[in-house]
Structure 1
Amino acid sequence: MIWEPERLDDQRHLSEGDPGGMLPAVAASAAHVRTGYRTAVESRLDRLADHGRPRAIVVAGMGGSGIAGDILAAAAGNGAPLPIVTLRSYQLPGWVGATDLVIAVSGSGDTEETLSVATQAVRRGCSLLGVGPAGSALEAIAVQASALYVPVPVTGTSRANIWLLAVPLIVAAAELRFVPADAELFERVAKSLEDMAHRCRPSSESFINPGKALALDLAESVPMIWGSSQAAAVAAYRLVCQLGTNAKYPAVYGELPEADHNLVEVFDGPLAERDIFSDTAGRTLRLVVLRDAEEHPQVTRRRETSLRLARERDVPVTELAAEGTHPLERMAGLIALGDYASTYLALGYAIDPTPASAITEIKARNSQ
Structure 2
Amino acid sequence: MHFIKKRNCSMKRTDNLKSIRKIDLSDMASLLSDFPQQCEEGVKIGQDYKLSSSLKNFTPSVILFSGLGGSAITGDLIADLVREEVKFPILTNRDYTIPNFVNEKTLVFVISYSGNTEETLSSYQEVLKRKAKIIVISSGGKLTELARSNKILPLGIPGGFPPRTALGFLFFSAFTLLQKLNLIKDRGKETKETFSSLSKLKEELSPDMPFERNQAKKIAEKLKGKIPIIYASNRLSAVAMRFQTQLAENSKQFSSRNLFPEMNHNEIMGWNNPISSLKKFLVVFLKDAGDFPRVKSRMKITQSLIADYPAGILELNTRGESVLSRNFSLLYLCDWISFYLAICNQIDPTPVERITLLKKKLKNL
Task: Please indicate, yes or no, whether the TM-score normalized by the shorter chain is above 0.5.
Answer: yes
How far is the alpha carbon of 1:313 from its aligned partner? 4.4
Q: Given the superposition, is the C-alpha separation of residues 271 and 357 from structure 1 closer, same or farther in structure 2, using an over 3 Å criterion? A: farther
**Residue in structure 2 matched with residue 361 of structure 1 by the alignment:** 357
TM-score (norm 1): 0.92
Instruction: After superposition, give the CA deviation of every residue in 1:210-250 in whole Å (9 maximum; x if it has no partner).
Output: 111111121111111011232x2211111110110111100
Which of 214, 233, 242 matches 1:209? 214
SS of 1:247's partner is coil
Q: Given the superposition, is the C-alpha separation of residues 271 and 60 from structure 1 closer, same or farther in structure 2, using an over 3 Å criterion? A: farther
**Residue in structure 1 matched with residue 282 of structure 2 by the alignment:** 286
**Residue in structure 2 matched with residue 277 of structure 1 by the alignment:** none
SS of 1:120's partner is helix
Which of 267, 271, 285 matches 1:267? 271
| Larger mean Cα displacement after TM superposition, 115-124 or 347-356 | 115-124
| In 2: Cα distance, 1:228 partner to 1:333 partner | 16
How far is the alpha carbon of 1:271 from its aligned partner? 4.9
Which of 135, 143, 151 matches 1:138? 143
- The letter of the residue matching 2:253 is Y
Do the aligned partners of 2:62 and 2:88 also contact (CA within 8 Å) in 1? Answer: yes
SS of 2:109's partner is strand
How far is the alpha carbon of 1:291 from its aligned partner? 0.8
**Residue in structure 2 matched with residue 351 of structure 1 by the alignment:** 347
How far is the alpha carbon of 1:314 from its aligned partner? 6.0
| Larger mean Cα displacement after TM superposition, 306-315 or 191-200 | 306-315
**Residue in structure 2 matched with residue 242 of structure 1 by the alignment:** 246
**Residue in structure 2 matched with residue 174 of structure 1 by the alignment:** 179
| In 1: Cα distance, 2:77 partner to 2:297 partner | 25
Instruction: After superposition, give the CA deviation of every residue in 1:130-185 in whole Å (9 maximum; x if it has no partner).
Output: 1111x422222222223342111133201011111111221122123343334433
SS of 1:117's partner is helix
Q: Given the superposition, is the C-alpha separation of residues 273 and 71 from structure 1 closer, same or farther in structure 2, using an over 3 Å criterion? A: closer
Percent of aligned pairs sharing the same letter: 26
| Larger mean Cα displacement after TM superposition, 44-53 or 6-15 | 44-53
Alignment of 1:1-368 (within 5 A): 4-5=9-10, 6-45=12-51, 47=53, 49-133=55-139, 135-230=140-235, 232-271=236-275, 284-313=280-309, 315-368=311-364
| In 2: Cα distance, 1:202 partner to 1:359 partner | 28
| In 1: Cα distance, 2:104 partner to 2:325 partner | 33
| CA RMSD in angstroms, aligned pairs only | 2.0
TM-score (norm 2): 0.92
Q: Given the superposition, is the C-alpha separation of residues 252 and 41 from structure 1 closer, same or farther in structure 2, using an over 3 Å criterion? A: same
- The letter of the residue matching 2:214 is N
| In 1: Cα distance, 2:355 partner to 2:258 partner | 24
Instruction: After superposition, give the CA deviation of every residue in 1:20-70 in whole Å (9 maximum; x if it has no partner).
Output: 111111111111111111011111248574141111011011111111110
Runs of 5+ consecutive residues of structure 2 not aligned to the other structure: 1-5
Do the aligned partners of 2:241 and 2:257 also contact (CA within 8 Å) in 1? Answer: yes
